[in-house]
Amino acid sequence: MKFNKTEGSLVHDEKRSPLLSTENGVELPTELITRFELYPENKRRPVNKTLFKNDYFKLTYDMKKKDLAISSRGDIVYSAIPYDTSRNYIQRAAIQYLLYPEEAREYIRSHKVNLETYIMPSIFQVTKKRVGKDSFEVKQAYNAIFQNPLFEIQILGRLLQHDETGPISANLPGKFLFNENIHTGISEYIFEYLNFVIQLTKSLPIATDGKSVELLETNLMNQSFADSRDKDSFLTYESNTEIAISLLPQEVKLSIEKSILISKKAIPAINKPLLKSKYGEELSRVRKTYIAHSVHPKESERYFENVLSTENTNLINVVSDIHASDGRLPFSNKNFNILVGDVSDSHVSNKEIKGIYVIGNHELVDVLPRSREELQTKKWRPFLRSDWFKQLLADPDESWYMLPVGSHRFYEVAKEELEKRFPQVKVLHNSSMVHEGVQYIGLTIPVVLVKRKKEQQKFILKTLKKLLNKDYDIPTVVISHAPLFNELNMLSMKSNAYNNDYYCSEPKIEKLFKEHNIIGAIHGHHHIPASSGRSKVVKFAGKEIFVVCSIYSKINTGFELVDLVNSNYQIKEL
């Protein structure tokens, strides 16, 4: 694939793009380095280099992280709705609409019962009039969704958010009523975003799903992306978008069609987007005086129905933090499952599910006896005098930092109780098993013990050394409910839960990772939204290691580990 600088178009080449070295030694495809020269600002930016831009968006390359990102140039406003958290979902919806407009519409229609539930309070917030699902007002508002594709994309994005994170609250009219939505600026943002990504993918060997950006047909192409079953959800230069574009309003359609041919400059929309340079002070005042009409998602869940299938077909399915409250697993999977703790808050049992399980902090409460009589039995009596156990019984949330480091007898009892409930699942309490050529080591780390980090890391080192033994070749994945330490953690440094002191301070652990074929780490615990990403590759112990954090939600019933393992690492047959 070669970039034709003169015409701004792609010419197919059977060979992958050659690499050239930049001044700081970073090797990049020739397409990218030639783009650097087009933007003078790159000379004074050693890290984030501009590769492509128009009036409102830009594609940049991070020279340190070696990844691509699409971002706003800073002036365009995504939404006038204060604290609107759906931007990534709506961008993802925009790409899916371009690729599969009929499927996108069908997804929206499948949520009709939930959309009606959202529309009713939306109408009340505007008119103070209570209406029923069968009312004319609700039917009219529902039908209006399908009259404007840019609004339809927004609804699709919000439904994706609903299915991943739970019910949406706060300022519903602007989100679900077309007549209110036209004042938010989101439609104009979507138009400019679509304009940009179409120009981009027609001009460079780039693929995007609305969040991630990947290189195509180059020596730096992410192999996990190349082999992924999800790559069909990415927009590329080969994508057929004619059907979707034909459904857009005429003025939008003409503008986007022109932007495909003229990649150097975007054709502006008929309605200009909201700009911070023009409306910034006004929007800031609105945010300061905003009174949210918020309801906690858990309080709202009973009003909504799960319209999605609960069957999961992943071959190696990673899931955590289900917190099931009705005594049963909310999904099914007939293959191999990796349950990464906090699965049950209601004595869940399941005789069919197969796989492995590591103990989370909520399991420690869930396995406790329900009666005082049982608490006095031989099994539980040894723990009754311990302060941490007394606190666990009285107020679990105040006991977590007191829990014993993961080699304690109490965890053996928890393991025995869980294995009774899940007879086809092996609970890995500081133990291991091999599945299809990969060794899985399960460490009992229910919580992050920052103040006792030295003790915990001494335990991690001792247990890993014992379980790895002297096998330096077998691909190994380490699983724990709470992350091992910051270096193998999916939690963002910007999160309030992130603690700088939880780093790996034991050099012998790093040496162990370097010597053995440890290829990945899996954790849960932090309830990281799926929209933030559920896997990444980090550098630790002088090599690349994948990290996965899979949190349960209605649409996210697990993360497929097969693609990540098989595409990045050679699995040796044992």
Low-confidence ranges of the chain (pLDDT < 70): 1-29, 31, 217-230, 249, 251-252, 255-271, 293-294, 296-298, 531, 567-574
Split into its structural domains, the chain has a count of 2
Q: Are residues 363 and 237 in the same domain?
A: no
Among candidate residues 351, 363, 534, 328, the one with its CA nearest the CA of residue 444: 363
Kindly state the percentage of the chain with pLDDT values over 70: 86
Q: Are residues 326 and 458 in the same domain?
A: yes
Residue-level pLDDT at 63: 84
Distance CA 187, CA 90 (A): 10
User: What confidence tens digit (pLDDT) does each residue in 11-62 have?
Assistant: 334 344 555 555 555 566 676 777 888 888 888 888 889 999 999 999 999 8
Pairing of strands 354-357, 336-339: parallel
Residue-level pLDDT at 226: 52
Phi-psi region of 527 (alpha: psi -120 to 50; beta: other; left: phi over 0): left
Residue-level pLDDT at 10: 34
- Asked whether the beta carbons of 342 and 381 are under 8 A apart, the reply is no
Q: Are residues 240 and 322 in the same domain?
A: no
Q: Are residues 515 and 399 in the same domain?
A: yes
Distance CA 90, CA 168 (A): 14
Domain limits for position 237: 2-75+205-245
Residue-level pLDDT at 567: 62
Q: Answer whether 0.75 is exceeded by the pTM.
A: yes
Residue-level pLDDT at 571: 42
Q: Are residues 330 and 424 in the same domain?
A: yes
Residue-level pLDDT at 508: 97
Picking from 190, 219, 245, the residue at the C-terminal end of a domain is 245
Q: Are residues 339 and 235 in the same domain?
A: no
Can you point out the beta strands (E) in 5-150? 9-11, 19-21, 27-29, 48-53, 57-62, 67-72
- DSSP letters for 364-421: HHHTS-SSHHHHTSTTTGGGTT-HHHHHHHH-GGGTGGGPPPTTSHHHHHHHHHHHHH
**Burial classification of residue 250, based on how many CB atoms lie within 10 Å of its CB (0-12 exposed, 13-18 middle, 19 or more buried):** exposed
DSSP letter (8 states) at residue 525: S
516 lies in some domain: yes
Q: Are residues 424 and 563 in the same domain?
A: yes
Q: Are residues 342 and 240 in the same domain?
A: no
Q: Are residues 347 and 452 in the same domain?
A: yes
Distance CA 237, CA 223 (A): 19
Phi-psi region of 469 (alpha: psi -120 to 50; beta: other; left: phi over 0): left
Which distant-in-sequence residues (6+ apart) come within 8 Å of 337 by Cβ? 316, 317, 318, 319, 353, 354, 355, 356, 425, 558
218 lies in some domain: yes
Residue-level pLDDT at 261: 45
383 lies in some domain: yes
Residue-level pLDDT at 152: 95
Among candidate residues 204, 179, 175, the one with its CA nearest the CA of residue 34: 204
**Burial classification of residue 47, based on how many CB atoms lie within 10 Å of its CB (0-12 exposed, 13-18 middle, 19 or more buried):** exposed
The enclosing domain of 367 has a CATH number of 3.60.21
